[in-house]
């Protein structure tokens, strides 16, 4: 792999497709093109790895518990709604 | 909330199908079961969209009131969860327009692409190589959530639905009334934006 293989135009073309590649949403030809390219282009390889790690981390973002007071309030609001919803 | 219904479309029987049928057949006392099923997910979705806790609570309440109001119009042409998020996303967008947290700007691909030789990386950074469980801690999770908050709304909506809530591209497109191509473009830019924020965080660590 060589940093000098980084050709702005070609890399930019593939750079646009990296998320689709990670999500398995690319056609086979484009996938093969990316795989071939990252073997010789370090910057694009780094780009793909850091993007992949970003997606992995994002998926771990986690959820907060619903505040108990709000849950109670919501329950009351729902209970006090008119029992027949208006016709849409 | 109403859409023309193509003839003979098959009903989607998901895990909420029976409950919704019961509510729509007059068992309104079952509606709290639906609320209980989704309040946690919707609260966190709204919090990520509104940032402000009070706004998020208002949004969840408004979403459930809208769901109750329009549930009779639900035709089972999509999973109920997708329809629910469509209502929630539209309620969030309306709420956000009144909110002080509304950074609005377009993200262009060029701003994330190394422009000169000095910016071109020559090796994979440690944070992308270490095992995920060795990397994760509360400070990093806070940093990720903070970075998500700073994304402009239209990109945040897409990344939250795709990478956090786990909807597919097609489902996200349906929820937000966008094309699949548009979802993909926004998702890629949102991920690149977050990647740059994380890169900055690890470089200063």
Mean pLDDT, residues B135-151 taken together: 93
Residue A7 has pLDDT above 90, yes or no: no
* Widest Cα–Cα separation across chain A: 70
**What's the pLDDT score for residue A1?**
43
Q: What is the pTM of this model?
A: 0.89
- Tell me the shortest Cα–Cα distance from B191 to chain A, in angstroms: 7
Residues of B in contact with A62 (CB under 8 A): 141, 145
3-state secondary structure of B5: coil
Q: How far apart are CA B145 and CA A60, in angstroms?
A: 10
So what's the pLDDT on residue B150? 92
**B14 Cα to chain A: minimum distance (Å):** 23
Instruction: Confirm or reject contact between B201 and chain A (CB < 8 A).
Output: no
Over residues A62-87, mean pLDDT: 86
Q: Is the CB of residue B60 less than 8 Å away from at least one CB of chain A?
A: yes
Q: Token pair 């349906």 is at which residue? A: B174
Render pLDDT for B40-71 as a digit per residue (tens, 0 to 9).
999 999 999 998 899 999 999 999 999 999 99
Give the pLDDT band (50/70/90) at residue A87.
low
CB burial of B135-144 (b: ≥16 within 10 Å; e: otherwise) equals bbeeebeebb
Whether residue B151 contacts residue B159, with contact meaning beta carbons closer than 8 Å, is answered with yes
* A25·B60 Cβ contact <8 A: no
Distance from CA of A5 to the nearest CA of B (A): 11
| C-alpha distance from residue B104 to each of A63, B22, B150, B156 (Å) | 25, 42, 10, 11
**Which chain A residues in 41-60 lie under 8 Å from chain B, judged by CB atoms?**
42-43, 45-47, 49-60
To probe the interface with B, which of A78, A80, A83, A87 has the most B CB atoms within 10 Å? A78
Average pLDDT over residues B157-183: 97
Q: Best residue in A8, A50, A76 to probe B by mutation, most B CBs within 10 Å?
A: A50
Two tokens at B87?
């209502």
Give the closest-approach CA distance of A9 to chain B in angstroms: 11
| Best mutation target, A71, A77, A85, A87, to test chain B (most B CBs within 10 A) | A85
Tokens of A11: 């890399």
B104 pLDDT tier (thresholds 50, 70, 90): confident
Number of H helices, E strands in chain A: 5, 0
Cα–Cα distance, B133 to B109 (Å, whole number)? 30
Q: Which residues of B49-76 are buried (b: 16+ CB within 10 A; e: fewer)?
A: bbbbeebbbbbbbbbbbbbbbbbeebeb
Going by pLDDT thresholds of 50, 70 and 90, the confidence category of residue B203 is confident
- State the pLDDT confidence band at A9, using cuts at 50, 70 and 90: confident
């Amino acid at each position: 792999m060589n940093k000098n293989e980084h050709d702005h135009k070609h890399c930019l073309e593939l750079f646009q497709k990296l998320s689709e590649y990670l999500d398995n949403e690319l056609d086979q030809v484009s996938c093969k093109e990316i795989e071939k390219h990252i073997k010789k282009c370090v910057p694009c390889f780094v780009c793909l790895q850091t993007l992949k790690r970003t997606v992995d981390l994002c998926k771990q973002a986690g959820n907060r518990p619903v505040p108990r007071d709000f849950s109670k309030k919501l329950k009351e609001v729902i209970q006090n709604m008119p029992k027949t919803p208006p016709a849409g | 909330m109403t859409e023309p219904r193509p003839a003979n479309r098959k009903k989607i029987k998901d895990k909420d199908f029976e409950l919704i049928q019961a509510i729509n057949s007059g068992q309104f006392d079952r509606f709290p079961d639906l609320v209980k099923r989704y309040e946690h997910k919707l609260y966190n979705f709204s919090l990520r969209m509104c940032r402000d806790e009070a706004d998020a609570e208002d949004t969840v309440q408004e979403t459930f009131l809208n769901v109750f109001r329009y549930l009779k119009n639900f035709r089972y042409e999509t999973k109920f969860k997708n329809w629910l998020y469509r209502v929630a996303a539209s309620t969030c967008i309306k709420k956000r327009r009144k909110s002080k947290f509304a950074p609005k700007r377009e993200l262009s691909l060029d701003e994330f692409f190394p422009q000169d030789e000095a910016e071109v990386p020559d090796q994979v950074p440690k944070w992308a190589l270490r095992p995920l469980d060795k990397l994760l801690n509360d400070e990093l999770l806070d940093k990720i959530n903070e970075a998500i908050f700073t994304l402009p709304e239209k990109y945040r909506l897409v990344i939250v639905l795709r990478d956090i809530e786990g909807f597919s591209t097609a489902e996200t497109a349906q929820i937000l009334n966008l094309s699949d191509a548009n979802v993909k473009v926004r998702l890629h830019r949102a991920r690149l934006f977050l990647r740059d924020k994380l890169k900055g965080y690890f470089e200063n660590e």
